[in-house]
Every structure is written in C-alpha cells, then in structure tokens.
Structure 1
Amino acid sequence: MSLRRQIRDESDFDQLPHNIPISATIADIEEKKGFIDYFRFVIEVKTKGGSKYLIYRRYSEFFNLHQILESKYSPENPEKPGPNTCTLPTLPGKIYIGNKQEIAENRIPELNTYMKRLLGLPTWLLLDEALRMFFYQTDQDSQQRPQALRRLRPPTRKVKTVKPPKKDMFSSPRAEVIFDFRGNGKAELNLKRGEVIFLLRRVNVDWLEGTVNNQTGIFPESFVKIIKPLPESDSEGEGGGYTYSCLRCFLLTPSGVEARDVCVQEDLTSQPSHKELLARMSDVFKVDDIALNYRDPEGDLIRILDDEDVQLMIKEARGQQGNVKRPVNQFPWELHVTMASDLSVYSSED
C-alpha cells in the first residue's frame, strides 16, 4: 500500500515506457463548426522519452475520462474497494449557459492544473488504458494543422533591433504571411496575409523572429510560408523550381493609404493579365468592385482597363527603373488600388 502511494518514485518512474505522457499544456482553443458549433482545446503533450506532440480534445472528453477514473480508483466509490485507489484532482464542472468561447478560455487554467495533478499521481495510474488513450496522438490529431498556439509563448520577451541588410533584401531569408496574426504585446509582430517578412532567427520550435514594415518581433511559424529559410535550416530553399518576387501595392481610400508588399510566385520579367492582377488585389485587400491604377512619370494615376494598359504600365516603369532604388526581387512597377466608383483620385485637368 505504501509503495503504491509513492508519487514519482524513481524506481517506479524508470520502469515506465518512454511514450508515457508526463506533462500536458493547453496551447490554444479552436472553434469547430458543423451541425453543432463547439470549441476544442489544443494540447501539447510531452512524454517520458522527450517527444512532443499535439492533441485536440473537447471538454466532454475530459469529463468522460474523469468519470472512468473515478469509477476505477476513487476511494469514495463504495462499489470499487481495493488497494488501487487514490484521490483524483478536481475537474472544473459543466457550464450550460454563456458564451462558448469565453467558457473555453476561462477553463484553460483549471484544465492545465487538472492535467498537471493528474499526471503527477502514482506511476501505476499512468498506465491506465483510458488515461493513455486520452493523451495518445491519434491519426486524426496528427493530420490537424494548428493555427496560433498562442499560449506556447517563447520564454524570452526581449525585442531585438537587428534589421535585414538594405542591399539585396530579397536574397535574405524570408517568408510570406499566409494568415493574419495579431501579436500579444510589443514583443510580437502584427502580420497581414500576403506580406513578406524577413527572418532573423529561430526562437524555438514554433516561433521565429523577423522584421516587416520596419517592425521587429516574434511570430508563430505556422502563420507563414517559408520562401528562403534561415541558414541553420535543413532545407536550403534554393533550386526549388520557383522564383519569388515582391510586388508593392497600395489601397487608396478616403480614410488613407494602405501599403502592402505581396509575395508573387512569378519572375520579374513576367507580364500578368489584367484579370489576374484584379483577382489578386481583391484577395489581398479583401474588397470587391475595385479598379487598378499606376502612376505615370508626372505622378498622375492612370486607370488600367485591359492587358494593353498593363503592358504600357510595365514599359513605363522599366523606363524609370534607374531613378528608383528597389530590392533586387521587387517588380519595377507598382499597383494603386481604388474603388471602381471613385473618380476623384484622377487629375481633372485637360
């Protein structure tokens, strides 16, 4: 009896299999939509052997696990007397009314405590089949793509002031933002889909540090697509069969001008169609009924109506190429996006 009550006894712990979970932390919550909308917890599990993986569990699965363990091991269960009993941690109770997201967020600290205490129980309980299956990474878990993992923040919060080299910026390690990301605090960047971010270093397995829009900070790697990896990366990025270029574009609205650097999988010499540019800008700025424009040598906006106008824009831009300093992988022409109905942006002088 006394031996079974020893928690984390070295001899018992050494005999556990390497795939036994020893710690678990909630990294995020994710909403699942279907016939019934619900939130699930994204949990990072660490095993005795040192491996880490993610599992996705609903509160109802926590509840079912707790009921099974209580029926087997709770000393208060009169139907299950015996030596293999222990006091289980308290599971936060069910909540039937309220905002589902707020309920899930508020449960995170309590569920983290519950899992910590559960995995700190006598070593023989860690071999329980129901407990092991709860923390086991199923095929469905492994096929999921995590989003933010926002609670797995790196331990460091210091912001470096390192900037990418001004010369040949687009030969530097870089990535394209594929999901919008709002940073939590000054150490983390705010990213918009389509932006090009220059990589400075890897912070940990999930986070990178980089610079975009003259801001330096950290961000989750799952929000970007690596174009050219950092030197220490196993993949060299070169010779991948694709050429990435940067297109500077602007959205002109009555409230101001929004600038974007959009990563394009095309060579600098390519000539896109008017239809392709229109679709890409609509996707980048998330607006419909737009018009494409470029600035002529006098600085006036010229509306682009067809492929011939695109050709003219490219021809004029190449003629002015020596007057403007650009990164080596940036197109010599720029797009100015306006609303199709807005004619006030054009010069009215005859």
Structure 2
Amino acid sequence: MSLPQQLRDESDFDQLPDNIPVTATIADVEEKKGFIVYYKFVIEVKTKGNSKYLIYRRYRQFYALHESLLLKYEAQPGYYGCQLPNLPGKVFMGNKKEIAESRIPELNNYMKRLLCLPTWILLDDLIRMFFYQTELDSQQIPRALRRLRPPTRKVKTVKPKTDLLSAPRAEVVFDFSGSGRLELNLKAGDVIFLLRRVNADWLEGTVRDKTGIFPESFVKIIKPLPESDSDEEGGASKKADRAQGSYSCLRCYLLKPEGIDTRDICVEEDLSIQPSYLDLLSRMRDLFQVDDIALNYRDPEGDLVRILDDEDVTLMIQESKRTKSEVKRPVNQYPWELLVTHSKDLSVYNTEY
C-alpha cells in the first residue's frame, strides 16, 4: 500500500476517482529560453488508477498554488481548515540553475505531503489543475529525465547484425551527452541499432561499437523494434517534429528620435502564453541595451498605449485577438507586438493637456 493511502481512511480513498494524483516526483530540471531564461521542473505524476504522465511547472506556479491554498484553507476555522506543508521560499540572488537544483528535494517533500492531505482536499480544483497534464505538457519532449534513469546491462562491445537493412534502427536527431558509462553519447546524424526497450522513455542500442541506453525522444525511429517491444512506429519522429517547431517569434520596435530599431526575438514559448510584465520589461532592456524604458502597444485606432502591469499585458493580448484577421503574420509569430520607448518621452502618445 502506498504511503498516501496509508495516511488516509481507506474507504474515503477508495471513493476517489482514478485520475486523482497520489504521488509526484521531480524527474529533471530543464532550461527554457522564454522571454527570460528560466527553469522548469519536469514532474512525473502517478494517479490512483496507476497511470503516469509528465507535467512541466515553474517555481512561480508552485508559489501561486501555495498562496491560493493558504487563503482557502489555513484562513478558515473549523472543519474546512487545514495545516498545509511548507513551501521553500523565494530566492532573489544566485545562479538560476543551482537554485532550481537545490529546490528539488524540498519540492518533492512538499508535493508528497500535499498529496497526503485528506481526500476532500485532493478533490479541490486548485490541486487537480496543478497536477493536470495540459495539452502543452503532453507536447513537450523530455530531454533526459536523469532522476528516473533505469538500470541497464553492463556496457559491452557488440557487432551489429549482418543484414543492416533489416535491423531495428534509429537516426539521432539531437546531440545527447550520457552522464556515465551506461549511457551512450550521441551525435545528430548517427545511426543506432536498437536492441530492446528499457522502459516507456528509454531504449538500448549500439552505435560505433558501443552499447548503452539513451532517451527515445532524441532519435527518429527508422525501423522499429518488434511490436511487442516497441511503441507505435514513428512516434519519436512525431515528437521530434513538434520539438523542431517549438519556437515562436515576437516583433519589437524601439522608437528613437533618429528612427525605429526593429528586432525579432525567438522564444521557446507557445503562441498562447501570456508573459508577465516584468519578464517582458527585463527582456526588452537586454535586447535594446537601454534601462530607462517603457513598454507599449498600438490600439486599433493606431495610438500608443503604455503597459504598466500584468493587467495591461492582458488587455494588449485581448486587443490583438480582436484585430488578428486584419494583419497577416507568419504562423509562428505572436499576434501582438511591443513598442519600446524611453520612459520619460511622452511625446509619442496622442494626449491633449
């Protein structure tokens, strides 16, 4: 019996639906080059019905969940009150990757204790939506899942099958650096001869007379393993195709007395995302190398509107959706644009005093 189930009344637990999350473990930390560089935690979630899937969450999403739960439960006296686990606090200085790595044990403990709370709290929409696998989560390509690496056989030297054209094999799409002698080092373009499936995410194969394991998401299957040992043919290829088209473009303008400086930036974000005001401000300062700036967008009448907070970012995106059909843009370009001005330059606004 799992630990969460031991800590609950069995009859209550049995009545929970099968899609309720019961355990969650951080499998890896991945760098994302969004409007700012940040790190996401790759989390393996297991449900009461024994299904498993991956979700991708930033620390700020943990923090927002925790703050919402505090307001809802710890502030309520009586039956509906609840003592929540402690969340590691915000860190404002230091290397982002090191901060993310150091948070893994604490966040694992936080999720473990959170999912051990009474069953009626597990049914709360706040918790269910946090651990829900969104469409965007399902489209992500896990890069390594290094904390879930499976055991494998001892590395050995083998010769590929004589009939190379009939052997199960794959082509490497992305470079991969193994973390030890049990894992292969792969270079894009390499051909790997497949030996077996280790688990849902990892394969074992031979390349350049070396045998080891590697993540399937880094390769394109040319000829799959026998059906009993392999996922659907071409699945990795479809994943790779999605990965290659994951960048989105944002057009930005810096309005200066001597003219307009136009830039396009590419970010590893979905077109539907709503970035924060502070992230946009930080990115524009780095892009144009100017600190004293203001962010703006152009309304349907053609006037500049200054952006001051996240609510203004929401308004900008809503305006762009209403006028989307009037402007033709590439399919991977955001429907909204940023116009950057010097913060003290009010002459760019159509304002009468």
* Residues in 1 aligned to 2:107 and 2:212: alpha-carbon distance in whole angstroms: 30
Give the letter aligned to residue 117 of structure 1: R
Q: Do structure 1's residue 89 and structure 2's residue 85 form an aligned pair?
A: yes
* Residues in 1 aligned to 2:79 and 2:73: alpha-carbon distance in whole angstroms: 9
**Alignment correspondent of 2:323:** none
* Residues in 1 aligned to 2:65 and 2:142: alpha-carbon distance in whole angstroms: 24
Cα pair distance change 1:26/1:82, threshold 3 Å: same
Q: CA deviation at 1:8?
A: 2.1
**153, 160, 166: which is aligned to 1:158?**
153
Contact (CA 8 Å) 1:201, 1:208: kept in 2 or not?
yes
Q: CA deviation at 1:214?
A: 1.4
**Alignment correspondent of 2:268:** none
Q: CA deviation at 1:169?
A: 2.8
Give the letter aligned to residue 105 of structure 1: E
**Alignment correspondent of 1:220:** 215
Structure showing greater radius of gyration is 1
Q: Do structure 1's residue 51 and structure 2's residue 46 form an aligned pair?
A: no
* Residues in 2 aligned to 1:47 and 1:98: alpha-carbon distance in whole angstroms: 35
Give the letter aligned to residue 100 of structure 2: A
Describe how 1:300-319 pairs up with structure 2 within 5 A. none
Q: Do structure 1's residue 28 and structure 2's residue 23 form an aligned pair?
A: no
Describe how 1:40-189 pairs up with structure 2 within 5 A. 40-74=40-74, 77=75, 80-154=76-150, 156-159=151-154, 161=156, 163-189=158-184
Q: CA deviation at 1:39?
A: 1.2
Of the structure 1 ranges 128-137 and 48-57, higher mean CA displacement relative to structure 2 is found in 48-57
Cα pair distance change 1:235/1:56, threshold 3 Å: closer
Task: State the identity %.
Answer: 71
**Alignment correspondent of 2:224:** 229
* Residues in 2 aligned to 1:50 and 1:164: alpha-carbon distance in whole angstroms: 39
Of the structure 1 ranges 28-37 and 157-166, higher mean CA displacement relative to structure 2 is found in 157-166
* Residues in 2 aligned to 1:187 and 1:177: alpha-carbon distance in whole angstroms: 18
Give the letter aligned to residue 166 of structure 2: S
Contact (CA 8 Å) 1:24, 1:115: kept in 2 or not?
yes
- Secondary structure of the 2:97 match is helix
Cα pair distance change 1:145/1:236, threshold 3 Å: closer
**164, 186, 206: which is aligned to 1:191?**
186
Q: CA deviation at 1:55?
A: 1.3
Contact (CA 8 Å) 2:197, 2:203: kept in 1 or not?
yes
Q: CA deviation at 1:120?
A: 1.3
Gaps of 5+ in 2: 1-5, 235-353
Q: CA deviation at 1:119?
A: 0.7
Cα pair distance change 1:153/1:234, threshold 3 Å: closer
- Secondary structure of the 1:95 match is coil
Cα pair distance change 1:162/1:170, threshold 3 Å: farther
Give the letter aligned to residue 54 of structure 2: L
Cα pair distance change 1:162/1:205, threshold 3 Å: farther
**Alignment correspondent of 1:317:** none
Gaps of 5+ in 1: 1-5, 238-350
- Secondary structure of the 2:49 match is coil
Contact (CA 8 Å) 1:7, 1:123: kept in 2 or not?
no
Q: CA deviation at 1:162?
A: 7.0
Contact (CA 8 Å) 1:29, 1:42: kept in 2 or not?
yes
**Alignment correspondent of 1:209:** 204
Q: CA deviation at 1:86?
A: 2.8
Give the letter aligned to residue 72 of structure 2: K
Describe how 1:219-258 pairs up with structure 2 within 5 A. 219-231=214-226, 232=228, 233=230, 235=232
Higher helix share: 2
- Secondary structure of the 1:71 match is helix
* Residues in 1 aligned to 2:133 and 2:231: alpha-carbon distance in whole angstroms: 26
Give the letter aligned to residue 124 of structure 1: W
Cα pair distance change 1:43/1:130, threshold 3 Å: same
Contact (CA 8 Å) 2:172, 2:186: kept in 1 or not?
yes
- Tell me the matched-pair count: 227
The superposition leaves residues 48-84 of structure 1 with CA deviations (integer Å, 9 ceiling, x where unpaired) of: 112222211110110111111122222xx4xx21112
Q: CA deviation at 1:32?
A: 2.1
Give the letter aligned to residue 139 of structure 1: E
The superposition leaves residues 319-345 of structure 1 with CA deviations (integer Å, 9 ceiling, x where unpaired) of: xxxxxxxxxxxxxxxxxxxxxxxxxxx
* Residues in 2 aligned to 1:104 and 1:89: alpha-carbon distance in whole angstroms: 19
Q: TM-score scaled to structure 2, two decimals?
A: 0.61
Q: CA deviation at 1:166?
A: 4.4
